[in-house]
Amino acid sequence: MAVIRSFIAIDIPSDIQRKLDEISTELRSKRPDSAVRWVPSENIHLTLKFLGEVSTNNLEILTKILQSAVSRHHCFQIKIGTLGAFPSVRRPRVIWIGIQAPPDLSSLQHSIEAETIRLGYAAEERPFSAHLTLGRVSHNASPLEVRQIGDILSGYTVGELGIALIDRVHLFRSDLEPGGAVYTSLLSLPLSK
């Protein structure tokens, strides 16, 4: 049985991806070492559900379930901006750019979560928090390095980067290559107009 690593996400417009790349490049210049694994801007997306390993035999039923869930929701806009970190800026593990969204985004994510759980995929352990991951602090980073990264983030401000129209959801395949993950859209589902 063939399996693929996959997730459900919203693509980010290329003009905002360019701005995210500029921010990552500037932050990287302040801390040019291996303490942070930066996400290439073309791989930055808004994850709605990480599925993990999916049997290729299940892709047809997954497609039908996603089509049904996504078609019940209308297009909406999100604002992208502000810099933050999980669990906090003082103790960063994940560096992110925030999303301001109407309740439509949470409703869409909840529908996808409910439908994929019905298919047997694991429920998310944490509540949904809309964000775009810029980088991940290495588990091997020393406490000093983590503190220094936190200081850089505390002194760096990101304003609003733009507004994006959300009009479709993608099922992505993730292939781990020596140069990093390569994402391929397997399915692009439009929201209702």
| Confidence at residue 44, expressed as pLDDT on a 0 to 100 scale | 95
Q: What is the Cα–Cα distance from 40 to 148, expressed in whole angstroms?
A: 22
| Confidence at residue 1, expressed as pLDDT on a 0 to 100 scale | 63
| Confidence at residue 178, expressed as pLDDT on a 0 to 100 scale | 85
Count: domains in the chain: 1
pTM of the model: 0.92
Print burial letters for 33-50: b (CB count within 10 Å at least 16), e (below 16). eebbebbebeebbbbbbb
Written as tens digits, the pLDDT of the chain (193 aa) is 688 999 999 999 999 999 999 999 999 998 777 899 999 999 999 999 999 999 888 888 999 999 999 999 999 999 999 999 999 999 999 999 999 999 999 999 999 999 999 988 999 988 999 999 999 999 999 999 999 999 999 999 999 999 999 999 999 999 988 878 899 999 999 999 8
CATH of the domain at 115: 3.90.1140.10
Question: What is the SS3 assignment for 87?
Answer: strand
Integer-rounded Cα radius of gyration of the chain: 17
E strand or H helix that includes residue 67: helix 59-71
Per-residue DSSP letter, 156: -
* Full domain range(s) for residue 82: 3-190
Token code pair at residue 157: 């401000």
φ, ψ dihedrals at 145, nearest 5°: -65, -40
φ, ψ dihedrals at 21, nearest 5°: -65, -40
Contact present, 159 and 40 (Cβ < 8 Å):
no
Token code pair at residue 123: 């429920």
